DNA sequence: GTCTATACTCAGATAGAC
DNA sequence: GTCTATCTGAGTATAGAC
């Protein structure tokens, strides 16, 4: 069933564009991440592309949303720490997306930028999903009793984000191993 | 004494431009951070501005270098942890610079971008300056013996970087307190 | 060496034809 | 729903005045 304002074909085309863009940016890097670059790859004009997404900024935010959805899909059935590490590990295979993510994270400072909503929602969703599990871990004695779970979430999240900065400069860094070491520090 | 290829006046003007840009971006935010915006504020034409810096990218990298120099100046006589926390604390007063920093960190993915050299040098300098002190701390028993100092440096650095992403979205976050909590975790 | 005016290029956005 | 054509704004290269 088509959503109001978009026929089935449009919705399908949108998906198609997003998946293509995800693939291109992930493998070929951020340099291909211009409206023109993506339009060329998808076989459409820049204006045709923007017909679906309005602006460049919204297009890029949608690309990250699609990536998140795929990451979430891939981690069903796994525990929190395992899923998290798997996502971090997978990031090392898609350098262009890491760059796109860090760019939009900076642009999210602008209150009018759609990336702001995206990151706010994403942080809330991630922390909401994890808060309970970590609290349980702490009550079961798997996490030091003197740690504030809110701090653990902020720090874990920030560590993963910041490691991407370092990895961009030096891809030999093992982001997942460094995050795992942080988890190890939380144990009593 | 003038450097080869530049009269004293030019050197002074360069300093003037950098300080003005630092002030403008710090307080008024990244939006004013276009070549034209800075040129207007300094009372010069865009081309005149680029006479000193070549390209926009190099100008922005120089702005960050100037900021680093001021941060370093301000922390003479203080210990490492104290200096680090002070820099992190001070960042909360200059939102535009935090945004500029995160932006350039993303752009540093491009091998041809001058920000790449900047961040590589900066990381090497920072880690080089801190490595010895932390190793000493560990030998004196002030840091857990089972921790890899290289990891401590990578993680501390990444944490501070990543917290900036979060702070951009929510300025009520206390970046310095969160970093301090990390330091506390390192104790035996 | 310092700096302006001009003009070029390229990206994203928009209007309107089909 | 999609294209072509056009517009706008940013960065920057060039020529040349001072």
Q: What is the pLDDT of residues B133-154, one digit of tens each?
A: 999 999 999 999 999 999 999 9
Answer yes or no: is B172 within a domain.
yes
Residue B26 in domain: no
Look at residue A133 and tell me if it is in a domain.
yes
Does B47 fall in a domain? no
> Tell me, in Å, how far CA of A36 is from C1' of C14?
16
At A93, list the tokens. Answer: 């295979």
- B110 and A165 within 8 Å at the Cβ level: the answer is no
Scan for tokens 């900076």, then name that residue: A106
CATH number at residue B105: 1.10.357.10
For residue range B3-32, what is the model confidence (pLDDT) as tens digits?
A: 456 777 878 999 999 999 999 999 888 888
pLDDT of residue A4: 47
DSSP secondary structure, B51-110, as one string: HHHSSHHHHHHHHHHHHHHHHHHHTTTS-HHHHHHHHHHHHTT-HHHHHHHHHHHHHTTS
Instruction: Say if B70 falls within a structural domain.
Output: yes
What is the extent of the structural domain holding A153?
A: 56-186
By Cβ distance, the residue of B99, B158, B170 closest to A106 is B99
Name the residue with tokens 């951009």. Answer: B168
Contact B105 A29 (CB under 8 A): no
Residues of chain A with pLDDT under 70: 1-9
Chain B nearest-CA distance from A22, in A, is 18
Name which of B27, B177, B12 is nearest B100 in CA terms.
Answer: B27
At residue B101, φ and ψ (nearest 5 deg) are -60, -50
Residue A29 lies in a domain: no
Are the Cβ atoms of A31 and B123 closer than 8 angstroms?
Answer: no
Reported pTM: 0.95
Q: Does any domain span residue A177?
A: yes
Number of structural domains in chain B? 1
Centre a 10 Å sphere on the Cβ of residue B121 and count the other Cβ atoms it contains.
11
Per-residue CB contacts under 7 A with strand C, chain B residues 13-42: 13
At residue B2, the pLDDT reads: 36
Answer whether residue B44 is part of any domain: no
Query: How confident is the model over B44-92, as pLDDT tens digits?
Result: 999 999 999 999 999 999 999 999 999 999 999 999 999 999 999 999 9
What positions of strand C are covered by protein, i.e. any atom < 7 Å from a CB?
Answer: 1-6, 11-16
Name the closest residue on chain B to residue A165, using Cα atoms.
B105
Other Cβ atoms closer than 10 A to A82? 11
What distance in Å separates residue A27's CA from the closest CA in chain B? 14
């Amino acid at each position: 069933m088509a959503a109001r304002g978009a026929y089935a074909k449009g919705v399908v085309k949108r998906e198609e564009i997003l998946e293509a863009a995800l693939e291109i940016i992930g493998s070929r890097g951020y340099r291909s991440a211009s409206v023109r670059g993506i339009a060329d790859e998808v076989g459409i004009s820049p204006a045709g592309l923007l017909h679906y997404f309005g602006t460049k900024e919204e297009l890029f935010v949608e690309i990250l949303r699609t990536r998140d959805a795929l990451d979430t899909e891939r981690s069903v059935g796994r525990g929190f720490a395992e899923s998290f590490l798997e996502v971090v590990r997978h990031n090392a295979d898609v350098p262009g997306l890491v760059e796109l993510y860090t760019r939009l994270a900076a642009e999210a400072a602008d209150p009018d930028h759609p990336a702001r909503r995206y990151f706010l929602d994403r942080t809330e969703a991630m922390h909401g999903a994890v808060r309970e599990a970590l609290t349980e871990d702490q009550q079961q004695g798997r996490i030091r009793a003197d740690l504030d779970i809110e701090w653990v979430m902020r720090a874990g999240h920030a560590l993963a984000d910041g490691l991407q900065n370092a990895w961009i400069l030096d891809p030999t860094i093992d982001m997942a191993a460094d995050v795992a070491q942080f988890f190890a520090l939380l144990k009593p």
